[in-house]
Structure 1
Amino acid sequence: MGNWTVRLKKGGITLVAAFVLMTTFAGPQSWHVYAAEINADIPQVIEKASPSVVAIIGKPSSEVDKTLEKNRFNLAHGTGVIVASNGVIVTNAHVVKDMKNIVVVTSEGTTYRGHASNIDEESDLALVKIDAVGLQPATFASSSDIKVGETVAAIGTPISFALRNSVTVGIVSGLDRSVSSQYQLIQTDAAINPGNSGGALINMKGEVIGINTMKYADIGIENLGFAIPVDTVKYVLKHFELYGKVKRAYTGLELEESWEAVVGLPSMAGLRVDYVDADSPAAEAGIEQDEVVVSIGSDSVQTLVDYNEAIKKYLPGQTVDIKLQSGSATLTKSVKLGELHNTEATLTEDADGSSLDADSGKTKIGDSHFGWSMKYPAGLVKRQQSDDGDSISFVDAKGEFALSIRIASDQSDELSPAALLTTIAGEDDSDYSSYGNSATVLERQYVKRAEYPYAKVVSRSGEDGYIQTRGYLHGGRLYTVQLFVTKEQYTNRSKQNSYNDLLDSFKLAFNTGDNSLKDISVFNSDDVTYTSEYGLSIDLPAAWEQDYHGSTSFYNDEYSQSLEIHVTSASSGDTLQNWVDREVDMFEAQYTADYRRVDKPVEATVDGVPAWQVDFASSLGDEWFAGRSLFFIKDKYKYEVRMTYPKDEQDDELEKMWDNVVASITVDKETMDGELGFIQDLNELADPDRTALYKNEKFNYTLRIPENWTTNRSYDGNDQATKSFSFPGGYLRVEADNKSVYTEVVKDAEEELKKSHTSDSDYSYSAEDVTLFGDVKAKKYKVSYSKAHIPYTETIYLFNRKQVTYTVTLRTDVAVSTAANVARLNKAFDSFAFVNGTESGK
């Protein structure tokens, strides 16, 4: 006998089976009969199951880009399975979690409004409810009856909503799969595509054996889909019915899989206890780190999926025996289970209006701020819009044309027709002109329309592109409207008439009382609210922007004013006064008295808690920068909101803005990132005098440098010839030269100093011979430049050791030449030591 594989392809359905060839050759004959029966049964099976499968469509919700919700063509869809005749439908959590305006369509085409009633992201299952009666619920199989190799069919809504209740057929490829899920999954080669999520995987009895959830989509990967097994579906549905959510047992264990389990090899190693939460059920039961979990109740566990499958059999409050391996001993410990409190998914509310079409009833489109409007064809899709709305582009849903509108301000209305035509001719250097290397003008004219005259240029770009550009002058603005079509569309007379009709509808007016007119203006002069992961919300002027997405730094449009938010944890025993005193002391320690100012803290109230406001200013000798910080403590976190700006920009308008910012601040503990822990305030631990050893092995010296100084090296990471150690307003720099003659280096340095003094008498210096490190002869130069853009002083040392010339520069701006800064700088230099010598200045 031998193993054979037969592939039968009928009607686009491929059936694959492995069988044993018997000496009587009865096997193949039986297989053909069986395959024919299966093919004959499939239509009846689908006919039985399909009424229980529905298509789900809705509008995706986005906290990042709210414009997505307003795009009538931006829709999301999936599939669901009816589980109760009164309109209860199970689907994937990822299908409906962020879906608004849900619409459910049954297999015969009846449409219902729906809403997500329950969501469980851990299992990726959810319920959708529609107002209906007499629906046909699906019949669920038993997981124990599912066999690898049995024929199955997937029913769903792949790719497009127009393809709802599509059927693909395959086999069960595997059971107990662990792929991006807490629980086991069914593997199938039945085609599962985007939109199939939430649909039914059925057996040849028409019973649901799983809910389709995902597929592998990568180059070279085919027919690799997965479904949530029916027993997990039943488990979740039961919890939804009894508790409104899935109640999961909590042990307090963090477990680690063996290497074999991670890579998919069979493993009998169990799960190592990586961590035990304090005061958790596991801790109370005496389970300790590094013990190995062997079984949960009667279920042995080797993987995290095994563990989750076993623990889901128990409810919070129940007691379970956990067998563990501790060294050579086997232990059993009884754990009274707690409840796992995962962050529950927030059910998405419907968008404004109940229609799936966000633009229902809108036949015109325009911008109320820039004052234009035009017809709104059903297929017009907004592609891109600038932040202020002065540039916007559209495409046709069928890909037949593209349209752009650009508004340029500060344009004279007295521009002549010839000048206007010349101006808009340059607009052919647009995104669309890339379709050809040069544009051939086909038409150019000034159209004298009574209400809205315009300049018009039609050109051919390359072989396939045609561009019509229209320019309008109105109210000191140039409105440029540009249409791009392909040659096929341009030469179609009826199409060309429809495009011209669209362009002719463009008006330099916006009727706010017209309910059929959709306003796409994004211009905003009001404050914008920003919310951070730390629960803090704050309003800033619309013109201000975040430094980058997720940053807590903000800038005005000229980047001259900034606002930063700093959040740290309040240490035990710390107070608002102690915190503010530390910050003021640190600021004053950075600058000498003539170059800083700190006002006395002013008491305030922020979101119901005490706060202190501190005004400050500083300068390095040229421009003064001012600012103010607001300090407050709430919900165990310390918040500092700091605004800085050039001192000469401080005026009543800035004061008003600051007052509005402070009044807007709120802290909501519920919106904090659930994973936030203790955030150490580094200023509490900072020691400006603590040093770390730097060793330059190439040039044989060491230094002890304050650890809060920054280190800069030359562009070549392997070149240690130049090394700088910086702090705000100063640095220590070491330049090592093993190629030049020491006397020549000294000569060049002195010539440079003399040259600087000759060109500017405010640049002064002195020179002397000194001995360093006990026996090293050196040159010492002291430089002072009091009239510089930023006044500074320098001490420069030149010395030679074993054919290496060292130039060490100690520089401080006068503004930061505090006794402490100067002492640290000198101490760092005094620590200079040769590697084969004795370190000094420890």
Structure 2
Amino acid sequence: MGNWNTYKKKGFFALLSAFLLVSLLGPAPSYAAEANTEVPKVIEKTSPSVVAIIGKPSDSDKSLEKNRFNLAHGTGVIVESNGVIVTNAHVVKGMRNIVVVTSNGTTYNGRATNIDEESDLALVKIDATGLSPATFASSSDIKVGETVAAIGTPISFALRNSVTVGIVSGLDRSVSSQYQLIQTDAAINPGNSGGALINMKGEVIGINTMKYAEIGVENLGFAIPVDTVKYVLKHFQLYGKVKRPYLGLELEESWEAVVGLPSSTGLRVAYVDPDSPAASAGIQQDDFFVSIGTSKVKTLVDYNEAIKHYLPGEKVDIAIQSGSSPVTKSVTLGEVKQQETKWKQDAEGTYLDADRGKTKIGDSHFGWSMKYPAGLVKGRQSDDGDAVSFIDAKGEFSLSISIESKLSDELSPTALLNRLASDNEDNYSGTSSATILERQYVKRDSNPFGKIVSRSGDRGYVQTRGYLHQGKLYKVQLFVTKEHYNNNFKQNSYNDLLDSFKLSFNEKDGSLRDISVFSNGNTTYTNEYGLSFALPSSWQQGGYTGGSSFFNDDYTQAIHVRATSASSGDTLAAWAERQTKQFEALYAPKYRTVDEPKEITLAGVPALQVGYADTLGNKWNAGYSLFFIKDKYKYEVEVSYPRDDKGKELDELLETLTSTIKVDKDSMDQELGYIQDLDELMDPDRTITYKNEKYKYAVHVPENWTSANSYDNKDQANKIFSFTGGDLTIGADTKSSYEDAIKKEEAAQKKSHDNDSEYVYTSSDVTLFDDIKAKKFDISYDKAKVPYKETVYIFVRNQITYHVSLSIDEAVRTEANENRLIKAFESLTFLK
């Protein structure tokens, strides 16, 4: 991770951490009083054009516990009097329930209307009139060394419209941005993002975007220049987005450019998309860019600055160095595809505080409730909701509630108090014993409880209360730091909170927030490819190579999900046909069935449903595979279950799954690239060589066969190379003689036949590999639950006794499968 901090983690606690880091950086430089006499007038003129922005952070930030104090904030600049505000894209992307506060304290609900991540700029709209729009400078007027001021909302929302003063430290900087930036030493801190960098005329010269945050580094901030801001705003106004030209190639900077030296070689073409404008114009890999139009380009920032002067559909002359020859190519530009902006709002409405009006909190499933002070923050909660923790926003106390089942209501007061004291000491005493300050059984007509108050060394004080109710122990523990516990006023508030705990939950009480997570319904799963669907909450998730698996509680039903990239020219029908043929190749015809593909719709696109069934000879498995292609990815959802499973429960499962399948591009991992579908490359006859140096043999087996240690360098005495319904096993023994090995095998075969007359075997003497004497055992067991045939060879080579077994189930005994097994055995060679 680099050092460029754009403050994309914007929650309450992330900002607190950022504050601790920034506070180590030291104060901003002082300026002579005479140099700053104009600053107050400039700020008075400009500050009304700067607003503070606050909202709920993106759902994608999984590190933040969702509560009323998890808020993100930044700054914005008014560009139109009717409530159009420019800010950073990273401030409002994914932000929900946006609230804008002007310099005079007026509050408005807002929404992000346009977002452009490439430039890190966005627009927010509020319903207002008569606002004071900012005046924008011209980039050509910006001078290094001139005095500037940054206006924003650093660290805390309570510090909105704070001002810091500095100078322009540098221009045309290219750091962590698609475009050039202004460097300034005016203090820019978390929350300043999206605010104004102004000159001493009160004109905006840039939009603050980032700072360099590292201990020992001071006053290194950056702003987006006003000409880039104007460029983006113009596109927002004309097109609703930034229309970026598309060439269809990847460019690579020289080593000099990467480290910041002047580059003499320019940009190398690392890749050209075959169907792109660049390819049509004849630009090739390893060409070097010289200029775009009249603009010289030697860095990626140079390239982006030059190309932004053109629109998709326009022609541009690109000068390149191809080998030793300078060439000019005329390119008709395409257009970069972009995602649409989505305005997000919580289900609760536009309130910034989702718990607005909630004065109590509780769990409807476990049947408890208590008061909900404004400073109480819900922390971790168990999957079933039988344990939950809370902290105080000011850090004064923590509270936990846990429920233990399978206890008796007949537990005596003495036993209850002893239990609470023991739990209290285990949880909070650490290495030293807790000192009990109070212990009593509090008798009440309803809900009597045991109470333990103890001091835990220097850590603080713990009060534990235990309630017995309907075979459960409800344990409430409050931990208070030492400095706050001895404050009588605060003690009263703590006791009031504990006294409010009740073993009841009033579902009709609108002021009561329900935090129950217990569910007998469905759970929605979303993977990194944006695929989501719902399954019964009783199902559990597993994993396998290339995807995810889900199982019901007894593992008889399963769902496997796989996502890969769609290759150029591939179609839904061709893909489903390939998968069907692979399945059919696994089994002999009488051991499998495949239905004709059924056309359906999933995730809003055409899909194919292919039903199937297979067996190895005992029980039949059934299921179907769902195939669909969306946003350049192929999604396969395979459902499997015993063929005898029928009825309402299975029908409901299939209906729930198919009706809830969705693909959301915004939920995709942004770092995803091309994911090759390995089935497209699979050759079932391609082999790999395994060598066993210790036991002096080598064998060629199909690449798609598996074994726990088949292809490593460990020389094990027994190796099993397996495939669906069969295997090749090679055993090697340096101690047993050929005769002893045969006697042992004959005894084992005879015992199996004596135990079950349907188990049939014959033995014969054969010659292998032209000159090796061997004993061969042919086994068939047609009446087994899974009928199979097996051939065993015993022979000696290089004073090593080999025991080789070829086994294949009747269900997979196709000509192709059997030939691969025989071919693998015949490939066996012996090392010297």
Tell me the TM-score range normalised by the shorter chain.
Answer: 0.7 to 0.9
Equivalent position of 1:654 in the other structure: 649
- Determine the C-alpha separation between the residues in 1 that align with 2:607 and 2:323: 55
Once the two structures are superposed, residues 389-445 of structure 1 have per-residue CA deviations (whole angstroms, 9 ceiling, x without a partner) of: 222110111111111112233444343333433444443266x42645433433333
Q: Indicate which of 7, 11, 29 corresponds to 1:14.
A: 29
Q: Indicate which of 496, 500, 507 corresponds to 2:495.
A: 500
State yes or no: 1:439 paired with 2:434: yes
Scaled by the length of structure 1, what TM-score is found?
A: 0.83
State yes or no: 1:122 paired with 2:118: yes
State yes or no: 1:98 paired with 2:100: no
| Aligned CA distance change for structure 1 residues 717 and 702 (closer, same or farther; 3 Å) | closer
Once the two structures are superposed, residues 358-411 of structure 1 have per-residue CA deviations (whole angstroms, 9 ceiling, x without a partner) of: 211211111222221110111100001122322211011111111111223344
Q: What amino acid sits opposite 1:305 in the alignment?
A: V
Aligned residues of 1:554 and 1:564 also touching (Cα < 8 A)? yes
> Which segment is superposed worse, 710-719 or 269-278?
710-719
- Determine the C-alpha separation between the residues in 2 that align with 1:566 and 1:223: 48
Aligned residues of 1:631 and 1:638 also touching (Cα < 8 A)? no
Once the two structures are superposed, residues 607-644 of structure 1 have per-residue CA deviations (whole angstroms, 9 ceiling, x without a partner) of: 596855535253576xx463311445567987654323
| Aligned CA distance change for structure 1 residues 793 and 486 (closer, same or farther; 3 Å) | farther
Q: What amino acid sits opposite 1:330 in the alignment?
A: P
Once the two structures are superposed, residues 76-102 of structure 1 have per-residue CA deviations (whole angstroms, 9 ceiling, x without a partner) of: 011112223333321101101111222
- Determine the C-alpha separation between the residues in 1 that align with 2:315 and 2:372: 64
| Aligned CA distance change for structure 1 residues 758 and 798 (closer, same or farther; 3 Å) | closer
State yes or no: 1:140 paired with 2:155: no
Alignment of 1:237-256 (within 5 A): 237-256=233-252
Q: Indicate which of 201, 224, 228 corresponds to 2:224.
A: 228
| Aligned CA distance change for structure 1 residues 585 and 250 (closer, same or farther; 3 Å) | closer
| Aligned CA distance change for structure 1 residues 473 and 784 (closer, same or farther; 3 Å) | farther
- Determine the C-alpha separation between the residues in 1 that align with 2:536 and 2:442: 42
State yes or no: 1:382 paired with 2:381: no
State yes or no: 1:155 paired with 2:154: no
Q: Indicate which of 486, 489, 513 corresponds to 1:518.
A: 513
| Aligned CA distance change for structure 1 residues 544 and 807 (closer, same or farther; 3 Å) | same
Equivalent position of 1:301 in the other structure: 297
Aligned residues of 1:272 and 1:293 also touching (Cα < 8 A)? yes
Equivalent position of 1:762 in the other structure: 755
Q: Indicate which of 196, 202, 220 corresponds to 1:200.
A: 196
Equivalent position of 1:55 in the other structure: 52
SS of residue paired to 1:709: coil
Once the two structures are superposed, residues 566-614 of structure 1 have per-residue CA deviations (whole angstroms, 9 ceiling, x without a partner) of: 467594594699568525523523xx95xx4647669685559685553
> Which segment is superposed worse, 608-617 or 320-329?
608-617
Equivalent position of 2:484 in the other structure: 489
Per the TM alignment, residue 168 of structure 1 is displaced from its structure 2 partner at its CA by 3.2
Equivalent position of 1:3 in the other structure: none
Q: What amino acid sits opposite 1:216 in the alignment?
A: Y
| Aligned CA distance change for structure 1 residues 749 and 178 (closer, same or farther; 3 Å) | farther
Aligned residues of 1:693 and 1:703 also touching (Cα < 8 A)? yes
Q: What amino acid sits opposite 1:56 in the alignment?
A: I
Q: What amino acid sits opposite 1:293 in the alignment?
A: F
Equivalent position of 2:81 in the other structure: 85
Equivalent position of 1:469 in the other structure: 464
Equivalent position of 2:581 in the other structure: 582
Once the two structures are superposed, residues 207-266 of structure 1 have per-residue CA deviations (whole angstroms, 9 ceiling, x without a partner) of: 322211122334554433222112111211222223322222233333232333233332
- Determine the C-alpha separation between the residues in 1 that align with 2:675 and 2:177: 31
| Aligned CA distance change for structure 1 residues 249 and 200 (closer, same or farther; 3 Å) | same
Aligned residues of 2:611 and 2:624 also touching (Cα < 8 A)? yes
Q: What amino acid sits opposite 1:233 in the alignment?
A: V
Aligned residues of 2:742 and 2:775 also touching (Cα < 8 A)? no
Equivalent position of 2:624 in the other structure: 629
Q: Indicate which of 315, 325, 342 corresponds to 2:338.
A: 342
Aligned residues of 1:125 and 1:236 also touching (Cα < 8 A)? yes
Aligned residues of 1:689 and 1:706 also touching (Cα < 8 A)? yes
- Determine the C-alpha separation between the residues in 1 that align with 2:219 and 2:68: 33
Q: What amino acid sits opposite 2:168 in the alignment?
A: V
Q: What amino acid sits opposite 1:691 in the alignment?
A: T
- Determine the C-alpha separation between the residues in 2 that align with 1:716 and 1:702: 13
Per the TM alignment, residue 652 of structure 1 is displaced from its structure 2 partner at its CA by 2.7
Per the TM alignment, residue 45 of structure 1 is displaced from its structure 2 partner at its CA by 4.2
**Alignment size in residue pairs:** 796
Q: What amino acid sits opposite 2:470 in the alignment?
A: G
- Determine the C-alpha separation between the residues in 2 that align with 1:782 and 1:219: 75
Alignment of 1:716-735 (within 5 A): 717=713, 719=715, 723-735=719-731
Q: What amino acid sits opposite 2:229 in the alignment?
A: V
Q: Indicate which of 213, 217, 232 corresponds to 2:213.
A: 217
Per the TM alignment, residue 165 of structure 1 is displaced from its structure 2 partner at its CA by 2.5
- Determine the C-alpha separation between the residues in 2 that align with 1:479 and 1:304: 62
Aligned residues of 1:435 and 1:465 also touching (Cα < 8 A)? no
Once the two structures are superposed, residues 154-190 of structure 1 have per-residue CA deviations (whole angstroms, 9 ceiling, x without a partner) of: 3222221122223334443332222221111122333
> Which segment is superposed worse, 752-761 or 287-296?
752-761
State yes or no: 1:827 paired with 2:820: no
| Aligned CA distance change for structure 1 residues 61 and 453 (closer, same or farther; 3 Å) | same
- Determine the C-alpha separation between the residues in 1 that align with 2:607 and 2:146: 69
- Determine the C-alpha separation between the residues in 1 that align with 2:76 and 2:429: 45
State yes or no: 1:710 paired with 2:706: yes
Percent identical pairs in the alignment equals: 62
Aligned residues of 1:628 and 1:642 also touching (Cα < 8 A)? yes
Equivalent position of 1:398 in the other structure: 394
Tell me how large the CA RMSD over aligned residues is.
3.9
- Determine the C-alpha separation between the residues in 2 that align with 1:749 and 1:506: 77
- Determine the C-alpha separation between the residues in 1 that align with 2:765 and 2:433: 72
- Determine the C-alpha separation between the residues in 2 that align with 1:506 and 1:59: 29
- Determine the C-alpha separation between the residues in 1 that align with 2:169 and 2:400: 51
Per the TM alignment, residue 721 of structure 1 is displaced from its structure 2 partner at its CA by 5.9
Equivalent position of 2:265 in the other structure: 269
> Which segment is superposed worse, 370-379 or 579-588?
579-588
Once the two structures are superposed, residues 486-542 of structure 1 have per-residue CA deviations (whole angstroms, 9 ceiling, x without a partner) of: 233333322222111111111111122222111222223333444567776543212
Extract unaligned runs of 5+ from structure 1: 1-10, 16-33, 837-842
> Which segment is superposed worse, 445-454 or 603-612?
603-612
- Determine the C-alpha separation between the residues in 1 that align with 2:211 and 2:329: 40
SS of residue paired to 1:315: coil
Per the TM alignment, residue 771 of structure 1 is displaced from its structure 2 partner at its CA by 3.3
State yes or no: 1:413 paired with 2:409: yes
Q: What amino acid sits opposite 1:503 in the alignment?
A: L
Aligned residues of 2:54 and 2:99 also touching (Cα < 8 A)? yes
Q: What amino acid sits opposite 1:393 in the alignment?
A: S
Q: What amino acid sits opposite 1:427 in the alignment?
A: D
| Aligned CA distance change for structure 1 residues 830 and 584 (closer, same or farther; 3 Å) | closer
- Determine the C-alpha separation between the residues in 2 that align with 1:391 and 1:417: 23
> Which segment is superposed worse, 816-825 or 391-400?
816-825
Q: What amino acid sits opposite 2:755 in the alignment?
A: D
SS of residue paired to 1:710: coil
Per the TM alignment, residue 350 of structure 1 is displaced from its structure 2 partner at its CA by 5.5
- Determine the C-alpha separation between the residues in 1 that align with 2:390 and 2:614: 49
| Aligned CA distance change for structure 1 residues 216 and 786 (closer, same or farther; 3 Å) | farther
Aligned residues of 2:587 and 2:813 also touching (Cα < 8 A)? no
Q: What amino acid sits opposite 1:458 in the alignment?
A: V
SS of residue paired to 2:339: coil
- Determine the C-alpha separation between the residues in 2 that align with 1:389 and 1:98: 28
- Determine the C-alpha separation between the residues in 1 that align with 2:97 and 2:667: 28
